[in-house]
Amino acid sequence: MTDERTPSTTSATRAKGHEVVSNTKLTADVHRLVVVAPLVAAVRQPGQFVIVRLGPGAERIPLTIAESDSAQGTIVLVIQAVGKSTSDLVALAPGDRIQDVVGPLGRPSDLVTEGTAVCVAGGVGAAVIFPIARRLTELGAEVITVVGARTSEGVLFAAEFASFAELVVCTDDGSAGRAGVVTDALSDLLATRSVDVVYAAGPVSMMGAVAAATQRLGVRTIVSLNPIMVDGTGMCGGCRVTVDGEMRFACVDGPEFDAHGVDFDELSDRLSTYGQAERVAASHVCRGMA
């Protein structure tokens, strides 16, 4: 399901900021934006992210860099519209601009160069896992990707993953691939294959289930966390998580951590902190820079 946006005539400002080159609708609420950010594109590595701000007074949103093209000076952001700020971003059309794109932030992924790596992605977590899986393949690891969604429409990057790695698709309703959740497919792989490391990104509950499945077998597991984040420098403390009983900041210490040390219950609880405020803000969706 794709839908290219047409150039906008309502964007308030075109003279500054980071231009949106294209906006492709991947699913009902997920869009792929190609954005001009040459300095980021030149140096970013798998696992890193940017923080974007649409315009003055807008919320700062952390987004994974799914792809980049250093020659063109562009990066790819995969955005799911879940609230006001993300809805504003996916409404942008080619020629519109994002005022601030700050990055690359966070520590690059700790990638293996040999052995077998299983990369598990739930929903838009596929955008996080994609650059990791591709780079693992380039470095020499054998890569198996497990991609899950509720329905076939929500499966992201399937063709891209299949172009360089073994792919297992899971959908809750069985409309694509095997019926069931990604942890079922992961458990089967762990029982039948020699797996050296697992990388996972997606909903907190999914990552917690992946961690539980691999911990029983002692398989090293790395998860990319998605806590509330504001400044991206470790100063605000909004992205704090507990790992191995110690407070860490996802923006500077992560976003990737050893899954077996993460307090997923605390992370899930903190993600619901601003639920009511987000519901109120969602009624004021706008577009373009102020």
Paired residues of 76 in beta bridges: 34, 67
**142 contacts: CB under 8 Å, gap ≥ 6:** 115, 116, 117
CATH number at 52 reads 2.40.30.10
Give the pairing type, strands 142-149 and 116-122: parallel
Per-residue pLDDT at 228: 80
Do 120 and 264 belong to one domain? Answer: yes
Per-residue pLDDT at 273: 52
Q: Is residue 130 part of a domain?
A: yes
Cα distances (angstroms) measured from residue 18 to each of 14, 56, 57, 126: 9, 14, 17, 24
Q: CA angle, corner 240, sides to 237 and 246, nearest 5?
A: 120
**86 contacts: CB under 8 Å, gap ≥ 6:** 61, 79, 80
Distance CA 158, CA 126 (A): 9
Per-residue pLDDT at 93: 95
Instruction: List the chain pLDDT tens, one digit each, 290 residues.
Output: 445 554 433 333 345 899 999 999 999 999 999 999 999 999 999 999 999 999 988 889 999 999 999 999 999 999 999 888 899 999 999 999 999 999 999 999 999 999 999 999 999 999 999 999 999 999 999 999 999 999 999 999 999 999 999 999 999 999 999 999 999 999 999 999 999 999 999 999 999 999 999 999 999 999 999 888 777 777 777 788 999 999 999 889 999 999 999 999 999 888 765 444 444 444 555 544 43
Cα distances (angstroms) measured from residue 231 to each of 49, 137, 158: 13, 33, 33
Per-residue pLDDT at 220: 97
Q: Is residue 173 part of a domain?
A: yes
| Cβ-based burial of 173 (10 A; exposed 0-12, middle 13-18, buried ≥19) | exposed
Do 169 and 50 belong to one domain? Answer: no
Do 93 and 166 belong to one domain? Answer: no
Q: Give the domain range for residue 156.
A: 116-271
Cα distances (angstroms) measured from residue 152 to each of 119, 172, 205: 19, 9, 20
Distance CA 119, CA 161 (A): 10
CATH number at 247 reads 3.40.50.80
Q: What pTM was computed for the model?
A: 0.85
Per-residue pLDDT at 272: 60
Do 141 and 66 belong to one domain? Answer: no
Per-residue pLDDT at 286: 52
Count: domains in the chain: 2
Do 192 and 170 belong to one domain? Answer: yes
Residue 114 token pair: 């040999």
Distance CA 241, CA 5 (A): 37
Phi-psi region of 285 (alpha: psi -120 to 50; beta: other; left: phi over 0): beta
Secondary structure (DSSP) of 201-217: ES-HHHHHHHHHHHHTT
Total residues belonging to the chain: 290
The closest of 244, 246, 199, 245 to 225, measured between CA atoms, is 199
